[in-house]
Amino acid sequence: MNILLFGAGGNIGSAIAGELLSRGHTVTGVTRSGKAEAAEGRAGFTAVAGDATDAATVARLSAQGYDLVASAVGPRVGAEDDRKIIVGAAKALIEGLTRSGVRRLVVLGGAGSLETAPGVRVIDSPHFPEMWKNNALAQIEALGLYRETTGLDWTFISPAKLIEAGERTGSYRKGGEQLVVDAEGNSRISYADYAVAFADEVEQSNAVQSRINVAY
């Protein structure tokens, strides 16, 4: 597939770019800096500069023959307004893709809105880290915007509570609204295995117009 990926230079975006390239897809990686160092130089990859929060940019870039648009954008932690980037990107992606006519959108989300018990979300825990609250609230707002969108085939993929560097096992478990936890009750996944799940959804479209979460 020919894929346009916003946020391709990030911790998670570069893992997604790498996984898609290793499966033979063609990826154009978009960041504001125009840099996506981990993927640059790999066959099938092109880096371009662009702002995912600008609908005109999204429309212009996505109109260039892509089968699917993906996004893994996120603010620089502690240095940028979470809502401006995350909600701004959701709005611009919805508007931009509607204008360009690309229907399929797969986005990286957050874990804050997942349920740990009926009616109790991850973000409601008294132990939820204060420094991630605005980011999680912005992801919750973004999910709400996608849920109101009927004209696109979107998928919002929430990672586990803990997502970090680690090995690519190729395995993960998938859930819907309830947080997926392992036998010890932990919710975690490596960047590489999150990218496996993301690429599987890109290729298979199993969860169109819905949110899933992936963890070990």
Ligand X SMILES: NC(=O)c1ccc[n+]([C@@H]2O[C@H](COP(=O)([O-])OP(=O)(O)OC[C@H]3O[C@@H](n4cnc5c(N)ncnc54)[C@H](OP(=O)(O)O)[C@@H]3O)[C@@H](O)[C@H]2O)c1
List residues near ligand X by CB under 6 A: 6-7, 9-13, 30-33, 35, 51-53, 72-76, 85-86, 89, 108, 110-112, 135, 139, 159, 161, 163
- What's the CA gap between 113 and 20, in Å, rounded? 27
- What's the CA gap between 59 and 174, in Å, rounded? 31
Take residue 206 and report the two structure tokens written for it.
Answer: 């199993």
Residue 173: phi and psi, rounded to 5, are -115, 155
Residue 153: phi and psi, rounded to 5, are -95, 80
- What's the CA gap between 61 and 35, in Å, rounded? 16
Of 6 and 25, the one with the shorter C-beta distance to ligand X is 6
State the DSSP string of 159-206: --SEEES----S--EEESSBPP--TTS--EEEHHHHHHHHHHHHHH--
**Residue number with the smallest Cβ distance to ligand X:** 10
**What end-to-end distance do the CA atoms of the chain give, in Å?**
27
Of 150 and 168, the one with the shorter C-beta distance to ligand X is 168
Of 80 and 203, the one with the shorter C-beta distance to ligand X is 80
CA angle 195, 205, 32 (to 5 degrees): 50
Least spacing, CB of residue 88 vs ligand X, in Å = 7
Of 150 and 181, the one with the shorter C-beta distance to ligand X is 181
Least spacing, CB of residue 119 vs ligand X, in Å = 19
Least spacing, CB of residue 140 vs ligand X, in Å = 10
Of 107 and 152, the one with the shorter C-beta distance to ligand X is 107
Of 16 and 152, the one with the shorter C-beta distance to ligand X is 16
Q: How many other C-beta atoms can be found within 10 angstroms of the C-beta atom of residue 143?
A: 19
Least spacing, CB of residue 21 vs ligand X, in Å = 16
